[in-house]
């Protein structure tokens, strides 16, 4: 609930500490809602601006009790529709020849949040090098550095390897980290890029 998140006090100065908090996305959704002339326009926006343009017929985003999109979670779609969303990121915001996201949006989204240790950008999980040419290496050294992923609760993933034009969607449920995402991505990438 965005109102609950808005009441939480700041623990650190902006840009000094990273800690994932889904409530941040909920606050952004609340602020976005305020930019629309009516709730009807706000509630129609994901469908008209994104889902219809991508052919995501199954996609639904739930709202909190006040009517604000949760944004951080409670988004539902079929695997094929999530793959369409992933292809939007694999193709730099273009889908079926049409620019959907503003130019530069995907690059900005995949820019490393400096204090996240290579794990997070702007609402995307990353496989980035945490310290440039420094001694620490990215989490999955054998997978592309430009790999980005969107993670659901208990093992749902939309993973994008833009250079390879590969999107992997997993909708299974794996409690307590019981799923080897790294292994799946490595096997899919290898199967798609091996010479025939």
Query: In this predicted model, what pLDDT tens digit does every residue of 148-184 receive, in sequence order?
Result: 999 988 889 999 999 999 999 999 888 776 789 999 9
pLDDT given for residue 20 in this prediction: 80
Exposure string of 169-181, with b = 16+ CB inside 10 Å and e = fewer, is: bbeeeeeeeebeb
Looking at residue 23, its pLDDT comes to 81
The two tokens of residue 179 are 């799923």
Q: What is the 8-class DSSP label of residue 175?
A: G
Conformation bin of residue 27: beta by default, left when phi > 0, alpha when psi is -120 to 50: alpha
- Three-point CA angle 149, 83, 177, nearest 5°: 40
Ranges assigned E (strand) in 52-131: 60-61, 75-76, 94-95, 98-99, 125-126
pLDDT at 10: 76
Query: What residues contact 157, with CB distance under 8 A and at least 6 apart?
Result: 149, 150, 151, 168, 169, 170, 181
Per-residue pLDDT of the chain (196 residues; tens, 9 = 90+): 666 666 677 787 877 787 788 888 888 999 999 999 999 999 999 999 999 999 999 999 999 999 999 988 999 999 999 999 999 999 999 999 999 999 999 999 999 888 888 899 999 999 998 887 778 888 999 999 999 999 988 889 999 999 999 999 999 888 776 789 999 999 999 999 988 7
Count Cβ atoms within 10 A of the Cβ of residue 184 and give its class: 0-12 exposed, 13-18 middle, 19 or more buried.
middle
Residue 135's pLDDT is 84
**Closest alpha carbon to 67 in 38, 100, 108:** 38
């Amino acid at each position: 609930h965005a109102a609950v998140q808005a009441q939480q006090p700041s623990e650190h100065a902006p840009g000094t500490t990273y800690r994932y908090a889904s409530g941040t996305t909920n606050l952004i959704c609340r602020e976005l809602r305020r930019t629309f002339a009516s709730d009807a326009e706000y509630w129609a926006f994901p469908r008209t601006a994104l889902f219809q343009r991508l052919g995501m017929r199954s996609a639904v985003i739930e709202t909190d009790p006040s009517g604000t999109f949760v944004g951080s979670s409670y988004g539902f779609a079929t695997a094929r529709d999530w793959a369409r969303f992933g292809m939007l990121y694999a193709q730099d915001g273009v889908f079926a020849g049409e620019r959907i996201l503003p130019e530069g949006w995907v690059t900005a989204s995949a820019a490393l949040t400096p204090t996240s240790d290579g794990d997070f950008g702007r609402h995307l999980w990353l496989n980035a090098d945490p310290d440039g040419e420094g001694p620490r290496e990215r989490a999955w050294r054998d997978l592309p550095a430009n790999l980005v992923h969107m993670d659901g609760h208990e093992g749902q993933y939309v993973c994008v390897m833009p250079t390879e034009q590969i999107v992997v969607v997993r909708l299974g449920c794996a409690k307590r980290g019981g799923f080897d995402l790294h292994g799946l991505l490595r096997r899919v990438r290898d199967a798609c890029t091996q010479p025939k």
